[in-house]
Amino acid sequence: MGSYVLRRVLQMIPVFFGTTLLIFVMVYSLPGDPVTALFGDKAADPAVVASIKHTYYLDQPIWKQYLHYMGNLFQGDFGTSFTGRPVSDIMADAFPVTIRLALMAFVFEMVLGLALGVLSGLKRGSIADTLVLILTLVVISIPVFVLAYIAQTVFATNLGWVTPTVQDSYDLTQLVLPATVLGSLSLAYVARLTRTSIGENLRADYIRTAVAKGLPRRTIISRHLLRNSLIPVVTFLGTDLGALMGGAIVTEGIFNVQGIGNVLYRAINQKEGPTVVGIVTVLVIVYLVASLLVDLLYAVLDPRIRYA
């Protein structure tokens, strides 16, 4: 187990550097000069541009910029945005909001998705099963931003239960609607995955054995069926936490949640390189740690999987 974790962590290192380098190159070496863009329509004074570029290390070749950035990163310095505010400051404001939003969406999709999946998987061909299938298909095919507008129109404009946009991003009750919209797509996937997985396992020999032993239905479902059916679902959920935070770009924009999605969108549009790289770097770390945890969870769920 220990050596497996070590090997996985070692594998993560090149992926971490590769992904951050990729995003770094995408942000800094593609056409479009962020410094001249700062001046808007006015003609920029070449001396001022050169001095700003020097301050932000932009006059160096890209690999030097990257090494410089990484060197600072390992000292906990995410750099400074072009507005002069430290990127870590910007992230400290925005990340708590998005983490809450993503966690709420995550709990929502996990609880409801599993429940719907188990329900339809156990009763294949029933009305409930057909309903779940149709409902999930509809949710999957409606793009998130359309779903957000539908939710806004129904719950805010027509029913008046909530305000159309979030007034206070730190108020959890206001985040319920955005979180539901954010988690709905993954909810549909979780439900469908669980359904398929349960359907496959229902026919397995160990279930027949459990039934033959006379175990109560509840025990068979929770101990035997569910535990074995969860592996593909856990894989999906693990990679989804990172995806939720990245996917928050659309939801946060429509509901005016002041999280990283909003900050990131603005930063990309204004070519705010340091902010974009900083946020994406954190997202990559979240993704890497989550996929490591998923691999470790496999061994808990299925004792046959051992990491020597």
Partner 1 sequence: MPDIHDEDSYEPHPKPGVSHLDYAGEQGMAVEQETLVERDPVKREEARSLWGDAWRDLRGRPIFLISAVLILLLVVMAIFPWAFTDTDPRKADLVNDYLRRPNWGDVFGGGWFGYDAQGRSIYARVIYGARASITVGIFVTAAVTVLGGLTGMVAGYFGGAVDAVVSRITDIFFGIPLLLGALVLLNAFATRTVWSVVIALGVLGWTQIARVMRGAVLTVKQADFVVAGRALGAGTGRLMFRHILPNAIAPVIVVATIALGGYIATEATLSFLGIGLQDPTISWGIDISSAQKVIRTAPYVLFFPAAALSVTVLAFIMLGDAVRDALDPKLR
Q: Which of 38, 50, 215, 268 binds partner 1 (CB under 8 A)?
A: 268
If we measure between CA atoms, which residue out of 307, 132, 303 comes closest to residue 228?
303
Nearest distance from C-beta of residue 6 to partner 1, angstroms: 16
**What angle, 0 to 180 degrees and rounded to 10, lies between the N-to-C axes of helices 87-122 and 127-141?**
150
Q: Per CB under 8 A, does 301 bind partner 1?
A: no
User: CB-wise, 30 or 47, nearer to partner 1?
Assistant: 30
Neighbours of 149 (CB within 10 A): 13
Helix (H) or strand (E) holding 232: helix 227-255
Q: Which of 240, 252, 255, 262 binds partner 1 (CB under 8 A)?
A: 240
Q: Per CB under 8 A, does 235 bind partner 1?
A: yes
The answer to whether 107 touches 113, Cβ cutoff 8 Å, is: no
Nearest distance from C-beta of residue 103 to partner 1, angstroms: 18
Nearest distance from C-beta of residue 158 to partner 1, angstroms: 11
Letters for 31-60 (x = contact with partner 1 by CB under 8 A, - = none) are xx----------------------------
The answer to whether 86 touches 102, Cβ cutoff 8 Å, is: no
Assigned token pair, 155: 């719950």
Go through the chain and tell me how many residues it has.
308
User: How buried is residue 244: exposed, middle or buried, by Cβ count under 10 Å (0-12/13-18/19+)?
Assistant: buried
The answer to whether 258 touches 174, Cβ cutoff 8 Å, is: no
Q: Per CB under 8 A, does 158 bind partner 1?
A: no
Q: Per CB under 8 A, does 305 bind partner 1?
A: no
Which chain residues interact with partner 1 by CB under 8 A?
11, 14-15, 18-19, 22-23, 26-27, 30-32, 137-138, 140-146, 149, 153, 157, 186, 189, 192-193, 196, 199-200, 231-232, 235-236, 239-240, 242-243, 246-247, 249-250, 253, 264-265, 268-269, 271, 276, 280, 283-284, 287-288
